[in-house]
Amino acid sequence: MKSVCVFLGSNLGTSPEYAKAAQALGRVLALRHIALIYGGAKNGLMGVLAQSVVDAGGRVVGVLPGFLKAKELAFEGLAEMYEVDTMHERKAKMAELADGFLALPGGLGTLEEFFEAATLGQLGLHAKPVGLYNAQGFFDKLLEFLDHSVSQGFVKPPHRDNLIRSSDPARLIDLMESFKPVVVSKWYGLGKE
């Protein structure tokens, strides 16, 4: 894995532990020579992660829509910056550049980006790892909800199991690097599964 796309908050959240988690991930990425692909902003956890990668000697690539760049939100230590027109183009470019995806604590945008990457994997449109960095148990309730979705017949167990998760950044990257997706039909009752 040469690059990973990280989805995370443009805010810091209420706990200083989230920023510490972002810093720890940044150090792991730089140490393993894995480029950070992300939304290109300097604010919130996004900026903390990018700065941590740069401080540890790593490479940071940003993808930022022009309307956000115009608000002077771009991180200044980027090795490369891709300016796009829309949020849809941003996600497509990040997906093109990345060998895997992971999410840290964040809001609606983080969740939307994470679930799009997971859904594209479920549909067989990529075979890249998709993970959750469960810092401070941030995603515990989401993981419980996904288990509920499995029990109610809306998510197949292999699709749930394809989602990598760990509260340790080095372990998370290990799991992503050794990822082999389980491929099953997405739809119940339609043909072979």
Say how far apart CA 185 and CA 193 lie, in whole Å: 5
Domain assignment present for residue 185? The answer is: no
Q: Which residues of 17-48 are buried (b: 16+ CB within 10 A; e: fewer)?
A: ebbebbbbbbbbbbeeebbbbbbbbbebbbbb
Please report where in the chains the tokens 């760990």 appear, as a residue.
Answer: 166
Domain assignment present for residue 183? The answer is: no
Residues of the chain with pLDDT under 50: 190-193
Domain assignment present for residue 134? The answer is: yes
Please report where in the chains the tokens 């999410």 appear, as a residue.
Answer: 103
Q: pLDDT tens across 115-128, in order?
A: 999 999 988 899 99
Q: pLDDT tens across 141-166, in order?
A: 999 999 999 999 999 999 999 999 99
CATH number at residue 56: 3.40.50.450
Domain assignment present for residue 121? The answer is: yes
Domain assignment present for residue 186? The answer is: no
Residue 129's pLDDT is 98
Residue 70's pLDDT is 63
Q: What is the pTM of this model?
A: 0.92
Domain assignment present for residue 182? The answer is: no
Residue 72's pLDDT is 66
**Number of domains composing the chain:** 1
Domain assignment present for residue 14? The answer is: yes
Range of the domain at 28: 3-177
Output the six-digit token pair for 100.
């895997």
Domain assignment present for residue 187? The answer is: no
Q: pLDDT tens across 35-46, in order?
A: 999 999 999 999
Residue 186's pLDDT is 60
Is 37 in contact with 3 (CB distance < 8 Å)? yes
Residue 62: other Cβ atoms inside 10 A: 25
> 3-state DSSP call for residue 93?
helix
